[in-house]
Structure 1
Amino acid sequence: MSDKINIPEHLTGLNDNEVAASRKQFGSNEQLNKPQYHWWRALFELLKEPMLILLVAISVIYFILGQNSEAWFMLSAVIAVSGISFYQDNRSRKALEALEALNEPLTTVLRKGKKISIPTKEIVINDLVIAEEGNLINADGEIVHSNDFSVNESSLTGEAYSVFKSEKTEDKKVFSGTLVASGLAVFRVTEIGSGTVLGKLGSSLINIKEEATPLQQQIERFVKKMAYAGIAVFVLVWAVYFWKTNDILHSLLKGLTLAMSILPEEIPVAFTTFMALGSWRLMQEGIIVKKTRTVETLGSATVICTDKTGTLTENKMSLQAVYAFANNQLSKEGNWNDPEIRKVITTAMWASEPVPFDPMEKTLHQEYEKITPVDERTSFKMFHEYPLDGKPPMMTHLFQNKEGKRIIAAKGATEALLTISNLNETQRNQILHVSDSLASNGFRILGVGYSDFEGNDFPETQQELPFHFVGLIAFFDPPKANIHKVIQQFYDAGIKVKVVTGDNNITTKAIAEKAGIAEAEKFVNGADLMQLNNSELIHVINKTTLLTRMFPEAKLSIVNALKNDNQIVAMVGDGVNDGPALKASHIGVAMGQKGTEIAKSAADLILIDDDLSKMIVAVATGRRIYTNIKKAVQYIVSIHIPIILTVSLPLFLGWQYPDIFTPVHVIFLELVMGPMCSIVYENEPIEKNSMQLPPRALRSTFLSFREMSTSILQGLAITIGILFMYQFSAQTYASEQLTRTMVFTTLVFANIILSLANRSFLYSIFTTLEYKNNIMLALNSATLSLLALILYLPVTADFFKVEPLSVSQLGICLLVSSVSVLWIEILKWKRRKRLLK
């Protein structure tokens, strides 16, 4: 069978009954035994939240005072606040679980004589696992068959170099968590899950927490400062009220009311929710987010380093031309009748993997089948292999049949084959001329050669073998149909695009121009790049678009240089050699279909369909999420200021109604603000100008005084409106209950208008009203309905100590709240004039 080439026939793997028996006896391949989720445990954790503790404390005081209805209301609020938090936590948890399930790697095993891919957790002891170059090993085992197999065990040993192992070496063990550097091996699983070497580290690994992002740290510091302020103001208010009234319980009630109004508990909940649901939304778009914190970084990307093959192009390699050096013959478009031309194709096929997965190698096998009268592939077995390496790279395969006849074939970069072949300067120039001519059409060119080495003492590197140059093969991989539009969208968003490829500059330039890459004439090769010092490196990379003939160290240098230049780097890669650069970049992006396990393991994002346009979606999502977090936090700050000052200033200034707001009024507002912050704003669509603005600086924050000054001004303006209403009502009606009603209604109206005004800090409220967000409409409608019940239902009006308002009184409340909020529209108008000229 073709899928079992180079795997001995006797290796058939387990059958269904043996798999079931092994799983029953030894269990599943779970590396870390994470604590099982229990809803009651999550609920218990919620009850430790400061807001809920305050509510319980207030309830107890109300019970002591004999105000049972208020006490039961506050306990009901405990349930409501817990319910909202529990709902948000559950949404986030489910989103993360869905992402975790998608991120689980697949493993190729032999079962009942067939190769199948299974989720890693389904591996059982005694399974036969096939590990190939680029794979992550997901269980411990012993090699039973191998072919030039080496493994990088740095994750366990700390040693960076690869170790060659086989069924014949003394050390034939492989370990979970290590990476296949080259070749192929079949190993029998001996340990799974917590029994593996990696699994035994599980207890320490599971306690390692992911490092907080800059924004997360800023939010944590902000919330802590607000908490400290809440404690200080609580003590101050309690002391002042007690000094004036000598009533300790009412003093505590007043102080706790203010502390409750200061505590911004919605902000951390909102951050977690936005990140988790943002990742979940990206998953729906075909983008797997491996770390939710990446979502925060996406909107900041300033440069994207993209591969050429399969990213800019369709990854459909058709053989366009073949050049035979022996008779200086160039044939195109399937005209492979010349014997020397056929020899080039045949040699290139032998230099490919016996079971090809690369599109070029698949094409070579297909073309070989068409041109050969006798298929010799089943007669020869590969007994030695030199994997792709060198600068520029090449690869060599050694085959032998039962009669001892050998085939040693190599293919790789034209320069690589020319360097090691016995050619004079004229011959080299002749070949390079043909190569450059083909490359100018956008063809990918490979040199092909063979060796007549006869001994068994193979040199350490393939470049030491004596080679004969056979010819050139030229493939064409057309640009993707949508790539021109995608590249333009990156440019519109202020993101630079750099092509980082192992191909030569002529081919890369031709493809880049067809893809719409700007300044495609500027290029630098990897070998030249590595000769530069740090300052020269940054200068050259910033001035260059095409980075060609790149190798792992050069790719890593590019990423590090851009990072040192304060750029936010997205790196797109799919191969084993892309791993270091993917890991080092701010946003590592691997391809889901053609990406190796090493690339996927190192990356932060995986594009399921290998479609670069999804990166536009990802960047837009990152910008939407950051902007919406900013709106949510600034809304919370703006609306908390008037609540805090309305509770405290009448007391400090000695006004006639110091108890204008009680805890029941504050908790009603909190119940409205919580969902608005963490649910409604999360659902806001992206603003229409977001992808036409330059990226924000990663270290910039909306929690700076400059950014928060607008929110503080909004809060103070609403406070002025509320206090004006307080004095107007007190002087006009001389009634504490009616004054409370007017102040409370004005604040509720202001909250609704603020939630609408803060949907954009650029576009007017009339523009944002067209944005579709049904949750915003539903919550504001519910708030108005509840306000109506509070004012006009006698039992609730009595409970809140308010009374019905006339139409004219409602109009006054609406007018004052509108003026106190909508002045921001003037600033927006000025901002639009400045930015949207």
Structure 2
Amino acid sequence: MTRPVPDPNAPPTWHQLDIPITLTALETSAHGLSAAEAAARLARHGPNVLPEQARRPGWLRFLLHFNDVLIYILLGACVVTGAMGHWVDTMVILGVAVINALIGFIQENSAEKSLQSIRDMLSSQTLALRDGKTRVVATADLVPGDVVSLRPGDKIPADLRLLQTHSLRVEEAILTGESSVVEKHIAAIPGDALLGDRRNMAFSGTTVSAGNALGIVVATAGDTELGHINRMISTVSPIQTPLLQQTKRLGQVIFIMILAMMAVLFFWGWLAHDMPFGQLLLALISLAVAAVPEGLPAVISIILSLGVQKMARSKAIIRKLPTVETLGAMTIVCSDKTGTLTMNEMTVKSVVLGDRAYTVAGESYEPVGEIREVGGQAVGGIDPATPLGLFITAVDLCNDTRLRRDSHGRWQVVGAPTAGALKVLAAKAGIQHDGAKQHGKIPFDSAYKYQATHHELNGRHYLFMIGAPDVIAARCATELHDDGQRPFAAAYWEDAMARQSEGGLRMLAAAYREIPAGFPELDHPHLEQGLVFLGFAGMMDPPRPEATEAIALCRTAGIRVKMITGDHPGTAMAIGAMMGIGNGQDVVTGQQLEALDDEALVDVADRCDIFARTSPEHKLRLVRALQRRGNVVGMTGDGVNDAPALKQADVGIAMGIKGTEVTREAADMVLADDNFATIARAVKEGRRVYDNLKKTIHFILPTNLGQGLLVVVALLTGAVIPLTPLQILWMNMATSTTLSFGLAFEPAEPGLMHRRPRDPARSILDGYAIWRVALVGTLLAASAFILESQLLALGKDTDFVRTVLLQTLVATQWVYMFNCRIQDRFSLDLAMFRSKGLWLATGVLAALQLAIVHLPFMNDIFGTTPLPFLYWLLSLKIALLIFAVIELEKWITRQIRARRRP
């Protein structure tokens, strides 16, 4: 029965169609298009370039950073002071708002380049058949129906339905997560095969590892699988980090409270005290400036930037500042397998022969590692005439790969990874075959699953064959032992391979036959009989040793690790068992995920830890499902197939060495050493940063409350406002920012990685924090009013009183900074003398206060006056008294909590 021609608007099903039907559907032939037809289709379909997403202009992105409720208050204050002619106040307040907007604008500009990176993945030129001749064509000019020629090393320029293949193998790990190269063929594939199983297709952006082929273009630009990922990335909405969510809620609460107080105080001052309108407005502006934590955005950015620098020294490159603290709240890490948890370098782990079995050490392509007999000692000086020597000779000579070092000194395999693993095995054994001559070759092809060569070695001629164990075994009647040849023992080999397979190993067997010197040109019939089975090698993409330790550390910190891979279920399950992920049995495949709706997926995503044969869509759905359960999700990966999920995740983590540029640009964090263990170190640093942010917010808000209370009480009593708006701004920006910088350097608290991840929904201001803010704010305001009343009773003028109050409040903030170092214990310890941040902040603050109090031009701007040394000491005494009260409150709180514990 004839299969239907596909609807061009329907999802691609090209892998299901025979070649003649494909050619008919695309109205083309195996000889390609004519130049005129190609030009017409180019006009109809557009260039083979991934579409760009429109970006807002820079000026608009800058203005959007003023879209904050607290900034609205400052901008309103600017308008009022400007209308009243207080231009110095206006310019200073406006300057604060602009600085905050600039900080956000600079952070934003350092971020998103993912779509441009994907476009750069496409090669600029390709070979296509036009008018029946092979021509060099710009990749952008390819259209559906073009016939493209592929050669080793080519980057595939569009999605192709393969027409002809000759030993074609394609590296698709960046797209599908498949850890080994994929062997391609041209036969139609029935059913809805997953992306990694469409062996008759070649996809845009992947690379030809070996062989040659012709393929017909079935999709270009945004219609390719790469284009599909491009659309997924562009439609993923940015995730707001827990810190940004909490500070936004905090800002909204402060905004509502300020507006309410200003409204009440306006009518109170106007009606109860008959204050002049201008004086009342200035008083309300003082309240707004006092209550708004203007310095908070700058302080948060400074602390996060310091965390970024420290993480960079630990090989974790942070691309977006808020990611630093999000790491501390992370509850789940979803990790790709190939290249992330594993080396992405196939490695021979065992060799099984007729008499003996060997283990092979080493975790990468580096040709270093012992070959040790199972139950025996390491072997050295291997005799090429022994069964082990003959096996290594066969896999070394019947091999098209090369082993080399790149410009960075890292070992690489040029060719198929599985064959490369055998080449590394030969290098570890130290057997040289420099004098070998090749007289014939049958290259590997997935149709027959073997490769064979005719070699002359030391004057003797051999036929060597490597390939799938079942294919090789079917051609062998005997096997090689130490004492010579014996009949082939099928049961022994089946049992041995079953044991290796349980360990997640892939197997490749070898056989040989000695042949006469005048042997004819090598052909397939020569391989049908008379071969001697040598044995097989078991190989795998090994787990990273440091990753296994990091997974254990993540569990200790209350973080679950889930594996989401495009590889086969058996391989994923074996790697998971080695690394302590999952229960070793519960593996969910991509096909099973396809059958689940979004509600059912939430339960499966939460319950299971290993997912295999997944597509980019599956990874994206899994991350979203986990987020629906309230998890803060980290996603690691190195391929293009990981990019949408990385962007959706709360923390996208890319591999820096082996990761693609697309993945790195979509990520929030890049591991410069491709080391999963770096994630655990980054989590610890993220938790330290969050603790210091919390200490800083607990430090800043009481000072704002104290300043606000000064204005509120003055308005309620009809008294003169104790401080001017400029003096309050000075305290908020110069003083608070400086002292908060000191808290940014506080070290991690003991037991940090034994705590459960914090609840991202929990407010950064819990009940106890609110109590502390109220207590300290009240103490600051009360001490200032008492001091003000005494100074006024002594007949001091307004400028002098305000300067003393300013100095006293600054001194109490400095001392309170030491209170905030440790939230629930006595704050003074030996560690504080080693904290450079504390004393640097102290020095800078002292210089600033000397300037505002004693420099004449600063006196003129801020309305201050020089103070005698006696009043500096008075300010310090008041500050130390408040320090003692806070430490007493800590001690009482500890006693109450201790009694409540069961």
| Structure-to-structure mapping, 1:380-395, within 5 angstroms | 380-381=442-443, 384=446
Asked if 1:769 is matched to 2:769, the reply is: no
Letter in 1 for 2:326: T
8 Å Cα contact 1:226/1:264 also seen in 2: no
Tell me how far apart the structure 2 counterparts of residues 526 and 556 of structure 1 sit (CA, whole Å).
Answer: 18
Residue of 209, 222, 225 corresponding to 2:250: 222
Alpha-carbon distance in structure 1 between the residues aligned to 2:662 and 2:355: 41
1:136-174 deviation line (CA, Å, top 9, x unaligned):
9898999999747799999xxxx99549999x99xx9x7
Work out whether residues 446 and 472 of structure 1, in 8 Å CA contact, stay in contact via their aligned partners in 2. Answer: no
- Letter paired with 2:585: V
8 Å contact kept, 1:298–1:622? yes
- Conserved 8 A contact 1:309-1:315: yes
2:57 aligned with 1:57: no
**Letter of the structure 2 residue corresponding to residue 245 of structure 1:** D
Are 1:651 and 2:715 an aligned pair?
yes
Q: CA deviation at 1:130?
A: 11
Instruction: Look up the match of 1:231.
Output: 259
Instruction: Tell me what 2:737 maps to.
Output: 675
CA distance 1:317–1:100, shift in 2 (3 Å): closer
**Alignment match of 1:213 (pick from 232, 241, 246):** 241
- Other structure's SS at 1:251 match: helix
State the partner residue of 2:457. Answer: none
Instruction: Tell me the equivalent position of 1:612.
Output: 676
Distance in 2 (alpha carbons) for counterparts of 1:131 and 1:770: 67
Could you tell me how far apart the structure 2 residues matched to 1:691 and 1:290 are? 24
Aligned partners of 1:592 and 1:606 also within 8 Å: yes
Cα distance in structure 1, aligned partners of 2:556 and 2:638: 26
Deviation at 1:316, TM superposition (A): 6.8
Higher radius of gyration, 1 or 2: 2
**1:744 aligns to 2:759 (yes or no):** no
Q: What do residues 637-683 of structure 1 show as CA deviations (whole Å, max 9, x unaligned)?
A: 211101111011122134xx332222222222233256348866556
Please tell me whether the aligned partners of residues 294 and 733 of structure 2 are also in contact (alpha carbons under 8 angstroms): no
Task: Indicate how the Cα distance of structure 1 residues 100 and 376 shifts in structure 2: closer, same or farther if over 3 A, else same.
Answer: same
One-letter amino acid of the counterpart of residue 702, structure 1: I
Match in the other structure for 1:639:
703
The one-letter amino acid of 2:882's match is S
The 1:82/1:652 distance shift into structure 2, 3 A limit, reads closer
**CA–CA distance in 1 between the matches of 2:505 and 2:251?**
59
Corresponding position of 2:293: 264
CA offset digits 1:535-589 (Å, max 9, x no partner): 99799869xxxx7x96549999998997787665555555789789878865554
- What is the aligned counterpart of 1:526 among 572, 587, 598? 587
Counterpart contact for 1:589–1:603, Cα < 8 Å: yes
What is the identity, as a one-letter code, of the residue corresponding to 1:301?
M
Cα distance in 1 for partners of 2:217, 2:744 equals: 46
Q: Which residue of 2 is the match for residue 20 of structure 1?
A: none
- Residue 73 in 1 paired to residue 88 in 2? yes
CA contact (8 A) 2:125 2:139 kept: no
Distance 1:356 1:428, change over 3 A: farther
Task: Give how far 1:470 is off.
Answer: 8.3
Residues 256-335 of structure 1: pairs in structure 2 closer than 5 A = 256-268=285-297, 278=307, 282-283=311-312, 285-289=314-318, 294-302=323-331, 304=333, 319=348, 321-324=350-353, 327=354, 330=357, 333=371
Matched, 1:363 2:363: no
The alpha-carbon distance between structure 1 residues 580 and 808, as it changes in their structure 2 partners (threshold 3 A), is closer
Q: Which residue of 2 aligns with 1:464?
A: none
> How far off is 1:247 after superposition?
1.7
Deviation at residue 780 of structure 1 after TM alignment: 4.4
The answer on whether the counterparts of 1:59 and 1:72 sit within 8 Å (CA) in structure 2 is: yes
Aligned AA (1:640): N
- Report if the CA contact (8 A) 1:306-1:573 is conserved: yes
Q: Which residue of 1 aligns with 2:727?
A: 665
Give matches, 1:619-638, under 5 Å: 619-638=683-702
Instruction: Write the distance in 2 (CA, Å) between the matches of 1:508 and 1:165.
Output: 24
- Distance in 2 separating the partners of 1:315 and 1:658: 72
* Structure 2 residues without counterparts, runs of 5 or longer: 1-46, 128-137, 177-191, 360-370, 372-378, 403-412, 455-462, 478-487, 512-531
Deviates more, 1:618-627 or 1:761-770: 761-770
Q: Give the deviation of 1:702 after TM superposition.
A: 0.8
Q: CA deviation at 1:250?
A: 1.6
Would the alpha carbon gap of residues 730 and 560 (structure 1) be closer, same or farther in structure 2, given more than 3 Å must change?
same
Q: Tell me which residue corresponds to 1:31.
A: 52
Map residues 534-549 of structure 1 onto 2, 5 A cutoff: none
Structure 2 length-normalised TM: 0.62
Call closer, same or farther: CA 1:771–1:432 in 2, change over 3 Å.
farther
Q: Does 1:92 align with 2:107?
A: yes
Identity %: 21
How many residue pairs get aligned? The number is: 731
Does residue 847 of structure 2 align to residue 785 of structure 1? yes
Conserved? CA contact 1:107–1:138, under 8 Å: no
1:445 and 2:521 correspond: no
Q: Which moved more, 1:298-307 or 1:372-381?
A: 372-381
In 1, the alpha carbon distance for the partners of 2:775 and 2:836 equals: 26
**Residues 469 and 715 of structure 1, relative CA distance in 2, 3 Å threshold:** farther
User: Is the alpha carbon distance of 1:791 and 1:592 closer, same or farther for their aligned partners in structure 2, counting shifts above 3 Å?
Assistant: closer
State the 1:220 CA deviation: 1.8
Identify the residue that residue 14 of structure 2 maps to in structure 1.
none
Q: Is this contact kept in 2: 1:538–1:565, CA < 8 A?
A: no
Q: CA deviation at 1:751?
A: 2.3
- Structure 1 residues 381, 817: CA separation in 2 closer, same or farther (over 3 Å shift)? same
Q: Which amino acid aligns with 2:96?
A: V
Q: Is the CA contact 2:317–2:669 (under 8 Å) kept in the aligned structure 1? A: yes
Paired with 2:264 and 2:782, the residues of 1 have a C-alpha distance of 23
Distance 1:150 1:312, change over 3 A: closer
The 1:616–1:769 alpha-carbon spacing in structure 2 relative to 1, beyond 3 Å, is same
1:256-305 deviation per Cα after TM superposition (whole angstroms, max 9, x unaligned)? 22122223344455556666775576455433456655444311234556
8 Å CA contact retained: 2:244, 2:322: no
Using the alignment, how far apart are the partners of 2:857 and 2:651 within structure 1? Answer: 57
In structure 1, C-alpha distance between the alignment counterparts of 2:604 and 2:214, rounded to whole Å: 43
Q: Which moved more, 1:198-207 or 1:302-311?
A: 198-207
* Displacement of 1:107: 3.6
**Residue 494 and residue 132 in structure 1: after superposition, are their counterparts in 2 closer, same or farther (change >3 A)?**
farther
- How big is the shift at 1:609? 1.8
**Counterpart amino acid of residue 258 in structure 2:** G
Matched, 1:814 2:829: no
Q: CA RMSD in A?
A: 6.4
Q: Determine the structure 2 residue equivalent to 1:254.
A: 283
Tell me the distance in 2 between the aligned counterparts of 1:538 and 1:44.
37
| Aligned equivalents of 2:248, 2:781: Cα separation in 1 | 26
Q: Is the Cα–Cα contact under 8 Å of residues 102 and 288 in structure 1 kept in the other structure?
A: no
Unaligned runs of 5+ residues in structure 1 are: 1-25, 64-70, 114-122, 386-395, 452-467
Residues 737, 803 of structure 1: 8 Å contact kept: yes
Q: CA deviation at 1:761?
A: 2.0
Deviation at 1:227, TM superposition (A): 1.8
Q: Check the 8 A contact 1:142/1:188 in 2, yes or no.
A: yes
- TM-score relative to the length of structure 1: 0.66
The farther-off stretch of 80-89 and 210-219 is: 80-89
Tell me the alpha carbon deviations over residues 805-829 of structure 1, each in whole angstroms, 9 at most, x when there is no partner.
4444333322223333453334556
Is structure 2 residue 281 aligned with structure 1 residue 242?
no
Distance in 2 separating the partners of 1:256 and 1:646? 13
